[in-house]
Amino acid sequence: MNYLARKISFYVVALWAALTLNFLIPRLLPGNPVEILIQKLAARGPITPELRNSVELLLGDTSNDPIFVQYVNYLKGIFAGDFGVSITYYPQPVVEIIAQALPWTIVMIGIGTIIAFVVGITLGMLAGWKRGSWLDNLVPVTTMFQAVPYFWLALILLYVSAVQFKIFPVSGGYSYTGAGPSWDWDFISSAIYYGTLPALTIVISSFGGWLLGMRNMMVSTLSEDYIVTAEAKGLRPTRIMMAYAARNAILPSVAGFAISLGFVVSGSIVTEQVFSYPGVGSTLLQAVNNNDYSLMQGLFLVITLTVLGANLIVDLLYTVIDPRTRARS
């Protein structure tokens, strides 16, 4: 329990540091959101001082306040779930935009990452267990998939499977001809259909790393004394493979998995750009292109939170799967 409290307090401090940086960085950047919106509006007609004043009020421009007051208000806003208004999607609040984009990314990229991990670890375990079998030939092939630039691999797969053979749709997150997002089978099945190809590219490009790492850890674990003990005990081979070999060999991969889970949200930019997928990555790209600071700030915050959250979960999981990391009181 003590250990848990210490871990969580560490993450609270990390969260505070992230929030503060998130507050400071946009204020240190050149450019001003009010000016950008004014410029956009200027195309439609003359800008009166009243208009400028109302835009400032609308965007919550408080640059006249002392920075400390701004900081306190910023923290208050975050805990109230208020990240301001987006310029790109004006007048939608940032929270709404993120809430729309986040599920797409988490489900598609998240499932892709988890499948890649499970497939890679399973194959790696078998390849290490039966060293020298045909499974070893997978290693160079999958390493090649990992070595080619991801966007290139994704474009090739998109071209072959969606343009040439028309197995998968070319772009988007769901069929636009049907009704909008809702919890009925029509929509969910179309979302699965549209999400399969992007998720598949993630699996293909990343499972080789897990496979190689797991295979090599298996091989070195199999030469440990406790494996010989398990064999001498006459245990069944599956039991030795799972509870003795793989159980120990997986530990480094779990730590790596924490990092890649953290990148689920932020690492999706290229994938979503290639497949025009309506997730966090494409929203972030939009926000950057339009100097949409409040949206960027909101997205960065979400990314920070997922990285911290994923790490916390795996940290806690690690104490369960590796008793040696548990604090001794």
Partner 1 sequence: MTTDSLLSVKNYNIVYQVETPVHAVRNVSFELGRGEILGLAGESGCGKTTLAYGINRLLRPPAEITDGSAIFHDESGVDVDINGLTVAELRRYRWDKVSMVFQGAMNALNPVINIQKQMTDIFSTHRPEMSKSDRIDECADLLDLIGVGRDRLRSFSHELSGGMRQRVMIAMALALKPQLMIMDEPTTALDVLVQRDILQEISELRHKFGFSVIFITHDLPLLLEISDRIAIMLQGEIVEYNTPEQIYRNAGHEYTDKLLHSFPSLTGERGGFVRSGEASALTREATR
Give the start-end residues of each E strand in the chain: none
Determine if 50 is a binding residue for partner 1 (CB under 8 A).
no
Determine if 315 is a binding residue for partner 1 (CB under 8 A).
no
Of the pair 35, 231, the CB lying nearest partner 1 is at 231
Determine if 238 is a binding residue for partner 1 (CB under 8 A).
no
Neighbours of 17 (CB within 10 A): 11
Determine if 290 is a binding residue for partner 1 (CB under 8 A).
no
Determine if 231 is a binding residue for partner 1 (CB under 8 A).
yes
Determine if 324 is a binding residue for partner 1 (CB under 8 A).
yes
Rounded CA separation 255/4 (Å): 18
Determine if 276 is a binding residue for partner 1 (CB under 8 A).
no
Number of residues in contact with partner 1 under rule CB under 8 A: 23
Contact pick of 54, 226, 313, 317 for partner 1 (by CB under 8 A): 226
156-186 core/surface letters (b: 16 or more CB in 10 A; e: else): ebbeebbeeeeebbeeebbeeeeeeeeeeee
CB burial class (10 A; 0-12, 13-18, 19+) of residue 26? middle
Beta bridge partners of 85: 93
Stretch of residues binding partner 1 (CB under 8 A), selected from 1-9, 15-23, 189-197, 247-255: 247-255
Angle, CA of 16, 34 and 70, to the nearest 5°: 30
Determine if 230 is a binding residue for partner 1 (CB under 8 A).
yes
Of the pair 61, 224, the CB lying nearest partner 1 is at 224
Determine if 82 is a binding residue for partner 1 (CB under 8 A).
no
Determine if 136 is a binding residue for partner 1 (CB under 8 A).
no
Of the pair 61, 322, the CB lying nearest partner 1 is at 322
Contact pick of 247, 252, 313, 316 for partner 1 (by CB under 8 A): 247
Beta bridge partners of 93: 85
Contact between 86 and 292 under an 8 Å Cβ cutoff? The reply is yes
Contact between 151 and 158 under an 8 Å Cβ cutoff? The reply is no
Q: How far is the CB of 60 from partner 1 (least distance, A)?
A: 52
Contact pick of 4, 57, 243, 317 for partner 1 (by CB under 8 A): 243
Determine if 47 is a binding residue for partner 1 (CB under 8 A).
no
Determine if 133 is a binding residue for partner 1 (CB under 8 A).
no
Contact between 109 and 271 under an 8 Å Cβ cutoff? The reply is yes
Determine if 130 is a binding residue for partner 1 (CB under 8 A).
no
Stretch of residues binding partner 1 (CB under 8 A), selected from 52-60, 143-151, 239-247, 259-267: 239-247
Of the pair 15, 227, the CB lying nearest partner 1 is at 227
Alpha-carbon distance values, 229 to 38, 222, 234, 248 (Å) = 75, 11, 9, 15
Determine if 225 is a binding residue for partner 1 (CB under 8 A).
yes
Alpha-carbon distance values, 264 to 19, 119, 192, 227, 294 (Å) = 20, 17, 18, 36, 22
28-56 core/surface letters (b: 16 or more CB in 10 A; e: else): eeeeebeebbeeeeeeeeeeeeeebeebb
Determine if 10 is a binding residue for partner 1 (CB under 8 A).
no
Binding site for partner 1 (CB under 8 A): 224-226, 228-236, 239, 243-244, 247-248, 251, 321-324, 328
